[in-house]
Amino acid sequence: MVIALGTNLGDRAANLVSALERIRVLGRVVASSSVYETAPQGIVDQEPFYNAVALVETDLDPVELVGRLLDIEREMGRVRGPRWGPRLIDLDLILYGDRSIRTPSAEVPHPRYRQRRFVLEPLVEVWPHARDPDGTPVADLLKTVSDQVVAPVDAPAWPTGP
């Protein structure tokens, strides 16, 4: 499965590292992407985001996993504010194998990931042959968001790879 991580408050690199360590409790982290800095979307008058993705193997079902990701956000101190507003940490379940799920508490694939270069680029970095549940190569989706700018950043404490 694919989990996207994002943050734009406080020590952004440390926030990502802390979240990834907490995700490791949920399963085995197979790979993690580089960290990318991206301009905010929606509410643009805020600090830039650091974003990354992690590939994780877990025995948790998608609904339980989403609940656990929300628990991690709360444990780290996230306070829900306006949609697309600043956040200490944001953890989204993007893909869960080739499954499509829609429940009141979980939607997989993430409903907006196909339009977000800050998710697609790190995803293609760590899983070049990933496919959307509809069969579309994620690398093809990445080509459709070339107008969005993401820039890799040096985050020395961030572990790329497994």
132 catalytically annotated = no
Say what the pLDDT of residue 161 is: 60
Tokens of 65: 């996993």
- For residue 37, what are the domain limits? 2-153
Q: Which is the catalytic residue, given 12, 68, 90, 117?
A: 90
Residue 161 within a domain: no
Residue 52 within a domain: yes
Q: Are strands 150-153 and 35-38 parallel, antiparallel or unpaired?
A: antiparallel
92 catalytically annotated = yes
Residue 159 within a domain: no
Distance CA 13, CA 70 (A): 19
Q: Which is the catalytic residue, given 12, 68, 92, 117?
A: 92
Amino acid at 159: P
Q: Which is the catalytic residue, given 12, 68, 78, 114?
A: 78
Tokens of 102: 């829609």
pLDDT tens figures, 9-63: 999 999 999 999 999 999 999 999 999 999 887 777 779 999 999 999 999 999 9
Q: Which is the catalytic residue, given 12, 22, 68, 87?
A: 87
Amino acid at 119: V
Residue 118 within a domain: yes
Q: How confident is the model at residue 94 (pLDDT cuts 50, 70, 90)?
A: very high
Q: Is the pLDDT of residue 110 over 90?
A: no
Say what the pLDDT of residue 45 is: 77
Q: Is the pLDDT of residue 101 over 90?
A: no
Tokens of 147: 């107008």
Distance CA 58, CA 24 (A): 10
Task: Enumerate residues 6+ apart whose C-beta is below 8 A from 28.
Answer: 56, 57, 58, 162
Residue 61 within a domain: yes
90 catalytically annotated = yes
Residue 158 within a domain: no
Q: Assign residue 58 the CATH number of its domain.
A: 3.30.70.560
pLDDT tens figures, 113-157: 899 999 999 999 999 999 999 999 999 999 999 878 899 998 767
**Residue 38 pairs with which residues in a beta bridge?**
49, 150
68 catalytically annotated = no
Residue 45 within a domain: yes
Please tell me the total count of domains within the chain.
1
Give the 3-state secondary structure of residue 73.
helix
Q: Could you tell me how many residues make up the chain? A: 162
Across 33-158, the runs of DSSP E, i.e. the strands, are 35-38, 49-57, 90-95, 101-102, 107-108, 150-153
Residue 88 within a domain: yes
